A = this chain, B = another copy of it.
Amino acid sequence: MISDADQAQAVFAALADPTRRAVLHSVASGEASTATELAARLPVSRQAVAKHLALLERARLVDAQRAGREVRFQATPGPLGEAIEWMESVGTQWDERLAALARAIDKP
C-alpha cells in the first residue's frame, strides 16, 4: 500500500515533466488513448510515450485497459484530489503564519 504522502509525491513527480503533462492532457481530454495515437500527436517516439504512461499508471493518474491487440488508457480522478489537498493544507499553514505575523505587527 502506498501512503498518502507517497501518492501525492508520485503525482507531483508525474506532473513535473512537460511531455508527461501533454500526455496526461491528451488522455484526460479524450483526444487520444493509446500509446501509438499519443506518439503521433507528440514529437516523441512511441516508447517514450509508453514510459510516460507507465509512470502515470504507477501514480494512479491513468488506468490501462487491454482491448484486443491495443491498450487504451483513461484518466482516473482520485490522486489529483489528494495532491490538491496536500497543497491546500500547506497553503493554510502559510496563511496562518502570515495572519500571525499581521497580528504581531498590529499589536505592539
Contact = CB atoms under 8 A, between A and B. Distances in A.
A contact face: mostly helix, strand, loop, or mixed: helix
A76 B9 CA distance: 20
A28 B75 contact: no
Interface of A: 9, 12-13, 15-16, 18, 21, 24-25, 28-30, 74-77, 80-81, 83-84, 87-88, 90-91, 93-95, 97-98, 100
Contacts of A91: 77, 80-81, 84
A92 B21 CA distance: 15
Contacts of A13: 16
22 contacts: A9-B18, A12-B15, A12-B16, A15-B87, A25-B90, A28-B93, A28-B94, A29-B93, A30-B97, A30-B100, A74-B97, A75-B93, A75-B94, A75-B97, A77-B94, A77-B95, A77-B98, A80-B90, A80-B91, A84-B87, A84-B88, A84-B91
